[in-house]
A and B are shown apart, each in its own frame.
Chain A
Amino acid sequence: MRNKKSKRLQYLFNGIILENPILILMIGLCPALATSTTAKDAFGMSVATSFVLICSNIVVSLIRKFVPESVRIPIFIIIISTFVTIVDYTMQAYVPTLYRVLGVFVPLIVVNCMILGRAEAFAYQHNIFDSFLDGLGKAVGFTLVLVIMSIIREYFSTGEIFGFVIGPRFIISQPMLFMIFPPGAFLLIGLLKAFINKFIIKPEPTD
């Protein structure tokens, strides 16, 4: 019994650091870099992606016994795209400004490899509750990285965090504007990955 419980905790917490989708597994990079320009956009994108990830994990695990193995991938894609359409239209109706900023990246949640990957590698073999925990963990890991990146990028490029002015005047008067553009995103994720390699998960020596 206790073993089972610790396994469940493992499913939940694996996604946050040890199997973090962006910084460790390096999947779902496009939305992570594209939408982390301001903290608000990044948070909106994470909520949308998390919703799709958790729901598709639950549904895939719910129908896993009826799905023949040979057609599982198209079925997963249909399930995922259904939830993406729900998110797409809901955001268009209730948060139109955020939707306009995120643009094409909302429908592109459907090709986020993280979501299909979890459906295939986890939800297809595990029960509903475990799949929910796994989805939640991965979603939290995704959100965490996106929000951290966006806070750094927003702060250095505008001197604001979540739209509030914080910190010394020189950042506001002379912002590092390039942080909001693609070069800043690539530089930041490179440094974050190097930080992870150095302090958290050391890569195997190759030579």
Chain B
Amino acid sequence: MTTNPLLIFIAAFIVNNIILIRYLGLCPFFGVSTTLTTAFGMSTACLFVMLIATWVTWTIYHFLLLPLDLIFLRTAVFILIIATLVQFVEIFLKKNFKALYSAMGIYLPLITTNCAILAVTFLAIDYRFSLILATIFALGNALGFGLVIVLFSAIRERLEFAPLSRSFKGYPIAFIAASLVALAFLGFIGLFGLPL
């Protein structure tokens, strides 16, 4: 497996895109991609939490769980860390960065159950990345998440006005649009990438 930071970034960003190729974070993908503003808010919140969560979980895994031989607690510890972290970030932003908080405040609690965050922290461990590579990996995934969700929200804004039969309105047509976007992203597969 490659250790070139640029390749890891591109692989996480486009080739193994977290939503369209790895099928992670689908709930927010379909839930908040209805307008461009909500999509932006969700992606900023996600970028923020994903980076911090990766740093914290990586450190705890390598300096606490591994030396003490407690790897089996990984799932429980990581999800609790993420849940606490989200709360902490929310309070911190509310107090110190009002503008940022109003932009992504309501999306922060939703992120706790966003499987993309937990998956990225697990994958960064499973791929045996160093802390720097893990950061690049998390950054690529968060930007990939943002890219797809923003692109897709533009499509969905148009879909609102499309003349559709009633049974296809809403979710079904969104899924089918997602299928076409995923087909475009599938073109990158085989370029290079991380093992899925």
Contact = CB atoms under 8 A, between A and B. Distances in A.
Interface of A: 26-27, 29-30, 33-34, 73-74, 77-78, 81-82, 84-85, 88-89, 103-104, 107-108, 110-113, 116, 178, 181-187, 189-191, 193-195, 197-198, 202-203, 205-206
B76 A182 contact: no
5 contacts: A77-B83, A88-B75, A108-B122, A181-B186, A190-B176
Q: Which 3 pairs show the lowest CB-CB distances between chains A and B?
A: A190-B175, A186-B179, A81-B76
Contacts of B119: 104, 108
Contacts of B74: 107
Interface stretch (B5-13, B20-28, B42-50, B129-137): B20-28
Contacts of B79: 77, 81, 110-111
Interface of B: 20-27, 30, 72-76, 79-80, 83, 113-115, 118-119, 122-123, 126, 166-176, 178-180, 182-183, 185-186, 189, 196
A127 to B, nearest CB: 26
A88 to B, nearest CB: 7
Contacts of B122: 104, 107-108
A26 B171 contact: yes
B27 A29 contact: yes
A195 B168 CA distance: 9
A88 B114 CA distance: 20
A203 B166 contact: yes
A110 B175 contact: no
A36 to B, nearest CB: 10
